[in-house]
Amino acid sequence: MYRYDEFDDRYVRARVAAFRDQVERRLSGALTEDEFKPLRLQNGLYLQLHAYMLRVAIPYGTLNSRQMRQLAMIAERWDKGYGHFTTRQNIQFNWPTLKDTPAILSALADVGMHAIQTSGNCIRNVTADHFAGAAADEIEDPRPTAELLRQWSSGHPEFAFLPRKFKIAVTGSPNDRAVTKAHDIGLRMVRDGDGAPGFEVIVGGGLGRTPMIGKVMRDYLPKADLLPYLEAILRVYNLHGRRDNKYKARIKILTHETGIDVLREQVEAEFRQLKAAGPDATTAVDAREIGRIEAYFRQSAFVKLPATDASFDRACETDAGFRAWVETNTAPHKQQGYRIVTISLKPIGAAPGDASADQMRAVAEIAAHYGLDEIRVSHEQNLVLPHIRLGDLATVFAALQKAGLGTANVGLASDIIACPGMDYCALATARSIPVAQDIARRFSDPVLAREIGKLQIKISGCINACGHHHVGHIGILGLEKAGVESYQITLGGDATETAEIGKRVGPGFAFEAVGPAIERLVQAYLALRASPDETFLAAYRRLGAEPFKQALYGGAGETPRAAPPPPAPVFDTYHY
């Protein structure tokens, strides 16, 4: 993985020192809250429903064991003993005090981490495929590209005050595990006719108030042209993006209102001007710099192993729990004799994405001893050990079980993405976590869960869609209506390379009615599917919404009940 150099360290330390001074002035009263707000947001510090929240960047979701141990220490020393991993591959601490935040940022700097650009109308944390560098289907490791984008975008003066926040995702695989089509810019690795790798460039995706699937701006972009081409896109957006209405300020609205063809012409014209000006006037990167970055990601620690392992086979034969975990929580590795392990942060009845300090330390120990010291955070709010030998899987599983991290449900109905909702967020208008917990309990039986198969349920507690509900096979959006919580259900969403926005099927449900409604949906699917291999999404696409709508509403009327009043005052935009 990439290691910060002296420049990176000086830059981050200088930001910590500046923020320490700003906090001291705020505490003394020398700065008002209105004056302090833009300063703290530039350092990832939000004022939320109950307390401050610090959002820490995990670029392209990659950590080592030392960094994970430091996050555990921060959670224990300055928070309430846990952290929350988000759909932006970040971690959030929900309970820091203002006076402690400079010390937290200093502790992060000690391990090459920070909270810069996790907020604001700038280029946010660049995300990537959480299986990067390990996936068997990968064309090329996307992490060097993501690191190049991190260096290019960090503190970029021209793009520090865009019309709205800006998010980029990168995948190196034809199977999209980075939700690239729901980002402002999505980059998918492809090959040209000669087999040279480059990028399909997708622009104008995004969820939230106006969900849209991104449109292809370039079918193939050579790798050498990546930064000047992205600069051209950002310049066009910076010039034409709306600043009069924040709800219409994202590039997805510009793409929709301008049209992808016209927008493409503007971007290509800007790109040609940048290229014509020569390398001194563009962000073209010297091949030696690309090589320097790529060298950090070359994995030389793999051991040549056979394709099978006798101890692994015996464990699968004798331990049904281990065998089930292997089936759901591991994936093929490009290196023979290895597997990719996904650690579920969705134990039945828990808050999705939360990990205690002890659990973080346990993951760090496992990664250091068995995983080539690499950990990933997925946008699905799980953790990943990308490089585990077949012969070590049983030992790793036992260690995860001991830490309460052995739930075998990745990709199943209880592996639910959920935002913090009204439990933490000042913008939320409904609860998310209790809904997720209730649904997970209803599908906790492992036999039933495996019979249902792959099913993505995603929940948001407000229209900002931090829970990615728009691209869930089953999406749930909690809203406040006349003082009560009402939950809309959408069906048919898809976060992969065949991305789609889910369709709302009818009126909302009361809080207590959501779990039974989802149960009816799933039972209808089991009765309607063409074969045990037909997934929920495939069945929905084949049959359409009507039979599922009948399952939801046929004789099962909704009676909204009183809910707690919505939280008072809205402080900051809390969007992953």
277-332 tens-digit pLDDT: 876 655 667 788 889 999 999 887 899 999 999 999 999 999 999 999 999 999 99
Which two structure tokens, joined as six digits, stand for 534? 């037909």
Distance CA 345, CA 384 (A): 10
CA 451 to chain centroid, in Å, comes to 27
What is the C-alpha R_g of the chain?
Answer: 23
In the predicted structure, residue 559 carries a pLDDT above the cut 60: no
pLDDT band at 570 (very low <50, low <70, confident <90, very high): very low
Residue 450 near residue 437, CB atoms below 8 Å: no
Strand ranges of the sheet holding 354-356, from the earlier edge strand across to the other edge = 45-47, 52-56, 91-93, 82-85, 354-356
Indicate if the alpha-carbon torsion angle 523, 526, 529, 534 is positive or negative.
positive
DSSP 120-188: SSSB---EE-TTTTTBTT-SS-SHHHHHHHHHHHTT-GGGSS-SS-B-EEEESSSS--S-GGGSSEEEE
The pTM of this model reads: 0.94
The structural domains of the chain, ordered by start, are 6-110 (3.90.480.20), 127-296 (3.30.413.10), 310-402 (3.90.480.20), 417-553 (3.30.413.10)
| Gap between the Cα atoms of 127 and 117, Å rounded | 13
Parallel, antiparallel, or unpaired for β 62-63 and 82-85? unpaired
Position 571 scores a pLDDT of 42
Report the pLDDT averaged over residues 213-233. Answer: 96
State pLDDT tens for residues 491-542: 999 999 999 999 999 999 999 999 999 999 999 999 999 999 999 999 999 9
Question: Within the chain, how many helices (H) and strands (E) appear?
Answer: 18, 20
Q: What is the dihedral of CA 285, 291, 294, 295, to 10 degrees?
A: -150
User: What is the sign of the dihedral through the CA atoms of 18, 22, 25 and 30?
Assistant: positive
Q: Are 12 and 530 in contact (CB under 8 A)?
A: no
DSSP 409-458: -TTSTT--EE--GGGT-SS-SS--HHHHHHHHHHT--HHHHHHH-S--EE
Query: Which residues, 6 or more positions from 515, have their beta carbon under 8 angstroms from its beta carbon?
Result: 435, 438, 439, 442
Displacement of CA 558 from its chain's centroid (Å): 33
Report how far residue 341's alpha carbon sits from residue 384's, in angstroms, rounded to the nearest whole number: 6
What pLDDT score does 561 carry? Answer: 38
Structure tokens at 574: 């809390």
Q: What is the pLDDT of residue 299?
A: 82
Tally of CB atoms within 10 A around 442: 16
Q: What separation in angstroms does the CA of 219 have from each of 26, 172, 204?
A: 49, 15, 15
Question: What's the pLDDT band for 563 if we cut at 50, 70, 90?
Answer: very low
Q: Report the distance separating Cα 86 and Cα 69, nearest Å.
A: 18
Distance, CA of 283 to CA of 270 (rounded, Å): 13
Backbone angles phi, psi at 356, to 5 degrees: -75, 165
Strand order in the sheet with 383-389: 62-63, 375-377, 383-389, 338-343, 330-332
**How far is the CA of 337 from the CAs of 136, 218, 415, 566, in angstroms?**
12, 37, 27, 53
Average pLDDT over residues 146-166: 95
CA–CA separation, 313 vs 337, rounded Å?
A: 12
Residue 566, pLDDT > 80, answer no
Q: pLDDT tens digits, residue range 107-137?
A: 999 999 999 999 999 999 999 999 999 999 9
- Cα–Cα distances (Å) from 521 to 349, 438, 457, 525, in that order, read 21, 15, 12, 6
Q: pLDDT averaged over the chain?
A: 94
Query: Tell me, what's the pLDDT at 300?
Result: 77
Nearest to residue 316, comparing CAs of 225, 221, 394, 426? Answer: 394
Helix or strand run (H / E) with residue 522: helix 511-528
Per-residue pLDDT reduced to its tens digit, 354-396: 999 999 999 999 999 999 999 999 999 999 999 999 999 999 9
For residue 521, the model assigns a pLDDT of 98
pLDDT(397) > 90: yes
* CA–CA distance, 38 with 54 (Å, rounded to integer): 14
**Residue 568, pLDDT score:** 40
Question: pLDDT digits over 10-66, tens only?
Answer: 999 999 999 999 999 999 999 999 999 999 999 999 999 889 999 999 999 999 999
SS (H, E, C) 244-290: CCHHHCCHHHHHHHHCHHHHHHHHHHHHHHHHHCCHHHCCCCCHHHH
Give backbone dihedrals phi and psi of 256, rounded to 5 degrees, phi first: -70, -45
The pLDDT of 475-503, averaged and rounded, is 97
Confidence band of 441 (pLDDT split at 50, 70, 90): very high
Q: Indicate the DSSP class of residue 212.
A: B
